[in-house]
């Protein structure tokens, strides 16, 4: 521990000479123990990000919803006696109570957003200071979500920072944000009129000197201003500015500007935020960015993966965003709640559109109560919405705010009033972006948000795939005034294969063959390929996710397995349809490599420019394209082991199919 303190002091010494505001990682040096263990004698040494439910993921332990303590010391040198210290947590699941030297510094209720507490009044200088965080991941009736399929893994599962500032500084306390919001007032091809709202905090000053500069993507300064500003609690200093001939942000050209704000005559405090300027519109059945219509091809993302649970780090997000780009999606949905800021930074940089949900949601379990008409419940939802919007306000990739997901109006009719309150709050905080909701219900609740996304499962447990066309016709006829999109997806296991494509009337979660999943997506993709009714399509989901509410602890509703190792056939279908930069050629049903019937048809997906050629046992077989990128062969007779090869230009794929006829099986 002494070596760690010495290293920290050396780092501090170097940092103080470089800048008055310094930020230190507090990810190392923690001890962790459960409250029921009664004593820190049981503590384990851990580093952040951390969750206590990794054993449940591996099947070696029970999924725990409980209370645990995180402790560590922070050495504060005497040289910081005139400074202010803040601790910022980027995510604690779900309730955090923070204590410094036994003093309660603050409580945060909600597991998905950042929060910051000032700890200056509780510190001892020239000494170690005790930091204790009490964390609770149990469901609470006044903290959203109260109904969900996802695991609330528990723990300090994102980064923690110590922020050291002068006595007057850009506030780290404004809803867990950087304290600077860039408002886009008007945008044209020739100019951007914007306002920087800067929240200042001071212990003693009533006014301060302030400098703001705006740098173009090239690094060139395109705006600069020095001014003296009055400091008023909870009221920002608004600085309007104009950029001529701007480089606008778009999916094709994700141009980013940097806004630097300095406080004091010698810029004793300095904060920089990155943003982009673009206009988001929704007209008719189209979403537009800078006046250009965008056909949204999106994938839903949950918040975990095998081996790490919810404690994902930057390298995990890098791998996931690479999968988003590989499949050819141009948008992601952060289901239930926001992801790490790092993911949205990457989306800003590569031009991926983002929809972020507020955690007002309902899981498909009749045992769940998703809505409590209490003041505490409602205020918590509004507080979490404010944090979601303000913390992600400057990201140009974020183009819509989700206000609810799959809620219904059965029972308490004030649900509708609350949805309207959430929507009004979102519009009041940010009128530049549309609100959106995901619905599988009829009724007035669908008319609140600017955009609506219909979650459908026709052809799975109810109806047939042909009912999708009937539903679309009805939607166009009766609710054409709604700006609609569609979301769909079902579960499957790559370890389960079947020779029958016929699904039973009632699907057993324990038996979800991949073939059914593939057929579901093929049918939807075929029927929606030339659709003009919807402004977008959302696939549920890109990845499987952890859920103790499912039989084996995993929701299999994904195109890629929970461990990210295997892509299901439907992944390659969408890659063929969406990825315009890299062509796809993929034989489907390769995991169904032993089949009983000697007469087979071979299916594959191709987006290659060249016509595909299918060869079975060295004989060329005729193929037919029956839907965009979907091909099927004429019947071919097989016996024993059979080589199957498909080629298109330089692309090729192959498999071996073994035929085991019914006589030999007996």
Token pair 């499949």 in the structure block, residue: 327
Kindly report the length of the chain: 666
pLDDT value at position 16? 37
Give the span between the Cα atoms of 69 and 35, in whole angstroms: 6
According to DSSP, residue 580 is labeled: S
Residues 70 and 14 in one domain: yes
Distance of CA 398 to the CA centre of its chain: 11
Residues 189 and 304 in one domain: no
pTM score of the predicted model? 0.95
The model's pLDDT over 13-61, given as tens digits with 9 standing for 90+, comes to 333 333 579 999 999 999 999 999 988 888 999 999 999 999 888 777 8
Residues 265 and 297 in one domain: no
Residues 335 and 476 in one domain: yes
pLDDT value at position 77? 98
Give the span between the Cα atoms of 2 and 309, in whole angstroms: 32
pLDDT value at position 19? 52
Going across the sheet that includes 44-46, the strands are 44-46, 30-34, 67-76, 127-136, 95-100, 103-109
Number of domains in the chain: 4
Give the span between the Cα atoms of 339 and 299, in whole angstroms: 14
Return the structure tokens found at 389. Answer: 């919007």
For residue 122, the domain's CATH number is: 2.60.120.260
Residues 200 and 162 in one domain: no
Q: What is the Cβ-side half-sphere exposure of residue 639, based on CA atoms within 13 angstroms? A: 2
Token pair 């703001």 in the structure block, residue: 212
Question: 445, 379, 451, 436: which is closest to 414 by C-alpha?
Answer: 445
Of 555, 582, 609, which residue sits at a domain end?
582
pLDDT value at position 57? 81
pLDDT value at position 427? 98
Distances (CA, A) of 38 to 35, 41, 42, 71: 6, 9, 8, 14
Residue 439 placed within a domain: yes
DSSP string, 38-103: -SGGG-EEE-SS--S-HHHHHTSS-----EEEEEEEEEE-GGGTTSEEEEEES-EESEEEEEETTE
Q: The domain containing residue 96 runs over which residues? A: 2-166
pLDDT value at position 60? 78
Expressed in angstroms, the distance from the first to the final Cα of the chain is: 69
Residues 410 and 509 in one domain: yes
For residue 656, the domain's CATH number is: 2.60.40.10
Q: What is the Cβ-side half-sphere exposure of residue 659, based on CA atoms within 13 angstroms? A: 16
Token pair 């075929």 in the structure block, residue: 526
Give the span between the Cα atoms of 14 and 2, in whole angstroms: 19
Residue 216 placed within a domain: yes
Question: 589, 599, 590: which is closest to 636 by C-alpha?
Answer: 599
The model's pLDDT over 533-592, given as tens digits with 9 standing for 90+, comes to 999 999 999 999 999 999 889 999 999 999 999 999 999 999 999 999 999 999 999 999
Residues 142 and 215 in one domain: no
Residues 322 and 413 in one domain: yes
Residues 322 and 469 in one domain: yes
Give the span between the Cα atoms of 378 and 383, in whole angstroms: 9
Give the span between the Cα atoms of 494 and 492, in whole angstroms: 7
pLDDT value at position 401? 98
Residues 31 and 109 in one domain: yes
The helix (H) or strand (E) run that includes residue 209 is: strand 207-215
Of 121, 144, 166, which residue sits at a domain end?
166
Of 582, 609, 628, which residue sits at a domain end?
582
For residue 330, the domain's CATH number is: 3.20.20.80
Residues 356 and 497 in one domain: yes
Residues of the chain with pLDDT under 70: 1-19, 662-666
pLDDT value at position 18? 39
Residue 34 placed within a domain: yes
Residue 135, classed as helix, strand or coil, is strand
Residue 173 placed within a domain: no
Residues 132 and 223 in one domain: no
Give the span between the Cα atoms of 569 and 653, in whole angstroms: 13
Residue 204 placed within a domain: yes
Residue 175 placed within a domain: no
Residue 587 placed within a domain: no
Distances (CA, A) of 528 to 436, 456, 465, 522: 21, 13, 11, 10
Residue 506 placed within a domain: yes
Q: What is the Cβ-side half-sphere exposure of residue 131, based on CA atoms within 13 angstroms? A: 27
């Amino acid at each position: 521990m002494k070596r760690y303190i010495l290293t920290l002091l050396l780092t501090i010494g170097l940092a103080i000479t470089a800048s008055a505001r310094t930020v230190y990682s507090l990810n190392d040096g923690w001890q962790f123990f459960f409250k029921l263990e009664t004593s820190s004698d049981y503590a384990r040494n851990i580093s952040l990000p951390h969750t206590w439910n990794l054993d449940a993921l591996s099947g070696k332990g029970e999924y725990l919803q409980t209370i645990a303590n995180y402790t560590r010391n922070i050495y504060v040198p005497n040289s910081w006696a005139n400074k202010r210290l803040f601790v910022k947590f980027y995510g604690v699941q779900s309730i955090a109570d923070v204590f410094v030297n036994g003093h309660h510094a603050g409580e945060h209720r909600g597991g998905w957003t950042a929060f910051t507490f000032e700890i200056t009044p509780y510190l001892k200088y020239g000494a170690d200071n005790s930091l204790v965080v009490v964390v609770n991941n149990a469901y609470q009736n006044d903290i959203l979500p109260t109904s969900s399929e996802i695991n609330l893994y528990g723990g300090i599962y994102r980064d923690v920072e110590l922020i050291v500032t002068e006595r007057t500084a850009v506030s780290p306390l404004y809803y867990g944000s950087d304290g600077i919001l860039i408002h886009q007032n008007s945008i044209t091809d020739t100019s951007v009129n914007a306002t920087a709202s800067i929240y200042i905090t001071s212990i003693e000053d009533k006014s301060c000197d302030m400098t703001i500069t705006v740098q173009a993507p090239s690094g060139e300064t395109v705006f600069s201003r020095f001014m003296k500003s009055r400091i008023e609690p909870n009221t920002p200093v608004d600085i309007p500015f104009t950029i001529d001939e701007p480089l606008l942000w778009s999916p094709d050209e994700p141009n980013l500007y940097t806004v630097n704000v300095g406080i004091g005559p010698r810029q004793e405090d300095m904060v920089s935020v990155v943003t982009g300027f673009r206009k988001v519109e929704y007209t008719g059945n189209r979403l537009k960015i800078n006046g250009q219509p965008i056909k949204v091809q999106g994938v839903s993302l949950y918040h975990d993966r095998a081996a790490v649970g919810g404690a994902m780090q930057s390298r995990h997000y890098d791998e996931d965003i690479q999968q988003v780009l590989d499949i050819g999606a141009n948008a992601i949905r952060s289901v239930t709640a926001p992801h790490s800021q790092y993911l949205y930074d990457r989306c800003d940089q590569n031009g991926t559109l983002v929809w972020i949900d507020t955690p007002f949601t309902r899981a498909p379990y009749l045992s769940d109560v998703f809505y409590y008409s209490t003041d505490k419940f409602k205020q918590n939802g509004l507080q979490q919405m404010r944090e979601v919007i303000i913390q992600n306000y400057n990201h140009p990739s974020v183009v819509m705010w989700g206000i609810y997901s799959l809620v219904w109006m059965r029972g308490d009719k004030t649900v509708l009033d609350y949805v309207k309150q959430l929507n009004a709050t979102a519009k009041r905080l940010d009128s530049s972006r549309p609100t959106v909701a995901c619905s599988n219900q009829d009724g007035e609740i669908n008319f609140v948000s600017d955009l609506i996304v219909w979650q459908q499962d026709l052809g799975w447990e109810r109806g047939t795939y042909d009912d999708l066309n009937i539903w679309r016709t009805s939607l166009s006829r009766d609710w054409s005034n709604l700006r609609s999109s569609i979301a769909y997806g079902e579960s499957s296991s790559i370890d389960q294969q079947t020779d029958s494509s016929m699904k039973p009337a009632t699907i057993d979660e324990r038996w979800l063959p991949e073939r059914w999943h593939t057929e579901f997506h093929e049918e939807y993709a075929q029927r929606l390929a030339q659709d003009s009714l919807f402004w977008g399509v959302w696939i549920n989901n890109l990845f499987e996710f952890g859920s103790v509410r499912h039989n084996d602890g995993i929701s299999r509703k994904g195109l890629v397995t929970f461990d990210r190792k295997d892509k299901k056939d439907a992944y390659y279908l969408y890659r063929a349809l969406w990825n315009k930069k890299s062509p796809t050629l993929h034989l489907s049903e390769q995991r169904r490599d032993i089949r009983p019937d000697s007469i087979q048809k071979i299916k594959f997906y191709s987006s290659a420019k060249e016509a595909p050629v299918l060869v079975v046992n060295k004989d060329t077989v005729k193929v037919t394209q029956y839907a965009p990128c979907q091909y099927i062969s004429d019947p071919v007779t097989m016996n024993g082991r059979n080589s199957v090869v498909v080629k298109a230009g330089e692309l090729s794929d192959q498999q071996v199919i073994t035929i085991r006829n019914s006589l030999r099986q007996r």
